[in-house]
Structure 1
C-alpha cells in the first residue's frame, strides 16, 4: 500500500470511528446531567450534540418510547443553558450515522470525495477536511496541507451558505444535493454522477459511433455543441438564482447516470451571490488559472461575467481538445491574461465563428463580454457551428 492510498485508508477508518463516537455521544446525552456536561465540555461537541438531539426529536420521534424522549428533551435543555439556545436544524441536515462511506473517488478542491450509501440510496459524499488538501494532479491524491488563507469560522459560514443555496436548486443540469452535515466533520451528500472531463466524454461518444474515425476527425462537433448547450443551461440556472460558480473547467462538468445528461458540479468553494450575501475573499488559492477571468486573477470578487469568461475557456478546451494555455506555466498565464490582456493562441481546429464567440465571451473588460443568455441562444442554433 502506497503512502497516498494509506492516507485514504486511514481517513476511512477515522470516518467509521467518528460514526461510532457519534452514536456513543448520543447515548451519553440520555444519562445524568453531570456526565453529559463532562463528556461535552467542548463547545463544538455541545453544538453537535444539540443538533443531533434536535434532529432525533423532530425527525425520528416515533422511533423512541416516551421515557427516552423525555430524557432527550431534558438533555437538550441542559445543553442550552450551558451554550446558549439551541440552533435550528437546517432542512438539509443529515446526521453522520446515516451515511456509510464506500469507495474513494478523488480529492476535490475542499476535501475527499467518496461513493456512499444514505439508507438504501447510492450517493456521493464530499467531506470537508479540517485541513484543506491541494487538488491532485497525478494518479494518486495529494496529502492534506495546512490552510491558512481562510479561518475555520469563515469556512463553516461558507459551508452553511453553500448548503442553504445548493439544497434549493432543482435542475436536471445541476448536481442535486440530498443534504449535508455542518457539525463534527462537515460533508455534502449529493446524487451520483460520473466525474469525467468533457473532452473524455465527447471522445467516448465519437468512438462509440459506428464508422466514425476519431483519430482523423477528432470529437464530433455536434456532440461538443450538445454538451456545451446543456452545460450552459445549467450555468444559466445558477446565475438566475444569484450563484456564481467561479470554478468552471472541463472536468467540473459531470455526466449523469444515464450517460447523456451533463450536470454542473463541484460547488465546494463556489462564490454565492444572493441578496449581497455570501461574499468571500479566498483568492489566495485561485486554482485552475487557465480558465480564470482577469479580474479574478487580480483578486477581485468574481461575478456572473467571470463565469462567462470561464465558460468561454471551456468552449476553447472542448473544440481544441487541450487545456487553455496548454504547456504554459501558471505565472506566465497570469501575466498574459492580466498584463498583456490577451487570449490563448487560436487553435487551428476552430472556425471563425467559434473563435469569434470565444473572443466575445472572454473580453478583458467584464462589461464588454457577451451575456450568458446570448451564448445559450447561440448554442441552440445549430447552424452557428457548421
Structure 2
C-alpha cells in the first residue's frame, strides 16, 4: 500500500532524510510549483513546544532569508505545518525551505582526508570569508562558523549554512541565550563568546581562523573537553600551524596567528582584510603588516619565522606578549555564560559543544 508523500505549504514534497542536527532534521524535497529540488529543514517535533528552540529556528529563517550570495546557502521559503501527536493533540512545526546543495560538509571531508593542502585550505577559507563579508555587510554575525556548517559542492563551490544562532549586530545580548549559556561550538569559540561578551564581525573571524588552522593541520588550535577548550580559548596562545604541518608557509603561519588574537582589536578587523591576506599568502605575495606583527609578537622581532625549522620551537611552548591571565573563576563564569567580572554561580552545562 503506497503512502502519499507529505506536502508542506501546499507545494513542498518531503523526501528522504539527508541530515540531522541538534534541533532539526533536513530532508530532500521537491518544489512542485517551480519543479526544482530543495532541502527542507524541519524542527524536531519534540522541541516544537520549547520557546527557546522555536525562537532560534525562526531567527534562522529570518536571518537567512535576506542573504543572497553565491557562498551562502539560499533560503527560499519558511512556514509551519500542523503535526498531530499520539494523544491527538496538535502542535505547529516550523520548517525552512532551502537551496539543495549537492556535496559534502567540510566536516565530512576532514573526516575522510584529515587535512587539506595549503592551496585548497586557502581557497575554501576565502569562500567562507566572502560569505562572512557579505553577511556582515547586512548586519548579521553568524556566531557558529565551523566545518559542519560549510558545504563544498561537487563543483568545488563553498557554501556557508546554518544561521540558527546568528544575530543582528544591533542585538546587544548577542552571545547569550535566554538561559544565559554560552552559545557556539567549543573548538571554534572566540574568547569573547567564551566569556559571555557581546559579539561583532570579528567574532566570526576568530572562528574562521580556527577552521583554517584545522584545514591546514588536521586538528583544531586547541583540543580537549568543552570546559578545557573554553579555558584555552580565553587564556592560552595557539601554536603556529607549521608546528603540526611542516608544509605550511611562514606567511600562512602569520595569517592564522593574527586571526586568533585574543583581543578583538588585535586581530583582523574585517573579513575583507582576512581574505586579502589569505590570498596573498596563497600566492606568495606580501601579507599585511598587522599579520607580520602578530608573528613577531610570538617571539621573533625581525621576520616571519617558519617554526618547524627551529628545533627549539618544537620543544618549548610559544611565548607571546599580551597573554591573558585566566583563573578558575573566569572559566567557571564562561561555562555558566557569565562575564568574568560577574559573580560566579555554581557550574552548569554550557551550550558550547565540542564537535
Alpha-carbon distance change, 196 to 250 in structure 1, aligned in 2, over 3 angstroms = same
- Tell me the equivalent position of 1:135: none
> Would you tell me which structure has more helix in proportion to its own residues?
1
Which structure 2 residues correspond to residues 191-206 of structure 1 after superposition, within 5 A? Answer: 191-194=99-102, 196-198=104-106, 201=109
Alpha-carbon distance change, 268 to 240 in structure 1, aligned in 2, over 3 angstroms = same
- Tell me the equivalent position of 1:241: 138
Contact 2:142 2:204 in 1 (8 A): yes
Secondary structure (helix, strand or coil) at the match of 1:247 reads: coil
1:103 aligns with 2:2: no
Looking at structure 2, the residues matched to 354 and 303 of structure 1 have their Cα atoms a distance apart, in angstroms, of 24
Residue in structure 1 matching 2:272, options 357, 360, 373: 373
- Tell me the equivalent position of 1:223: 120
- Cα shift at 1:115: 1.1
Deviations 1:335-359 (A, max 9, x none): 2222x34226744213322222122
* Unpaired runs of at least 5, structure 1: 1-12, 20-94, 133-145, 205-213
Rg larger for: 1
User: What is the count of residue pairs matched by the alignment?
Assistant: 264
- Tell me the equivalent position of 2:203: 306
Looking at structure 1, the residues matched to 212 and 27 of structure 2 have their Cα atoms a distance apart, in angstroms, of 29
Residue in structure 1 matching 2:73, options 172, 175, 178: 175
Residue in structure 1 matching 2:38, options 123, 126, 131: 123
- Tell me the equivalent position of 1:90: none
Deviations 1:237-274 (A, max 9, x none): 11111111111111211123x5211011112222233x
Looking at structure 1, the residues matched to 146 and 22 of structure 2 have their Cα atoms a distance apart, in angstroms, of 13
- Tell me the equivalent position of 1:35: none
- Tell me the equivalent position of 1:348: 244
Looking at structure 2, the residues matched to 161 and 199 of structure 1 have their Cα atoms a distance apart, in angstroms, of 24
- Tell me the equivalent position of 1:316: 213
Q: TM-score, normalised by structure 2?
A: 0.65
- Cα shift at 1:313: 0.1
Secondary structure (helix, strand or coil) at the match of 2:256 reads: helix
Deviations 1:195-242 (A, max 9, x none): 6343654898xxxxxxxxx89xx6332222211111111111111111
Looking at structure 1, the residues matched to 232 and 204 of structure 2 have their Cα atoms a distance apart, in angstroms, of 19
Secondary structure (helix, strand or coil) at the match of 1:310 reads: helix
Looking at structure 2, the residues matched to 130 and 278 of structure 1 have their Cα atoms a distance apart, in angstroms, of 28
Q: CA RMSD in A?
A: 3.1
Contact 2:173 2:198 in 1 (8 A): no
* Higher RCO (C-alpha under 8 Å, 6+ residues apart): 2
* Unpaired runs of at least 5, structure 2: 82-91, 287-355
1:185 aligns with 2:93: yes
Secondary structure (helix, strand or coil) at the match of 2:165 reads: coil
- Tell me the equivalent position of 2:306: none
Alpha-carbon distance change, 287 to 376 in structure 1, aligned in 2, over 3 angstroms = closer
Looking at structure 1, the residues matched to 137 and 173 of structure 2 have their Cα atoms a distance apart, in angstroms, of 16
Contact 1:292 1:310 in 2 (8 A): yes
Contact 1:305 1:366 in 2 (8 A): yes
- Cα shift at 1:325: 2.5
Which structure 2 residues correspond to residues 1-386 of structure 1 after superposition, within 5 A? Answer: 16=6, 96-119=9-32, 120-132=35-47, 152=51, 155-182=53-80, 184-194=92-102, 196-198=104-106, 201=109, 219-256=116-153, 258-273=154-169, 275-276=170-171, 279=174, 281-282=176-177, 284=181, 286-326=183-223, 328-338=224-234, 340-343=235-238, 346=241, 347-349=243-245, 350-371=248-269, 372-381=271-280, 382-384=282-284
Contact 1:202 1:223 in 2 (8 A): no
Looking at structure 2, the residues matched to 222 and 385 of structure 1 have their Cα atoms a distance apart, in angstroms, of 14
Q: TM-score, normalised by structure 1?
A: 0.60
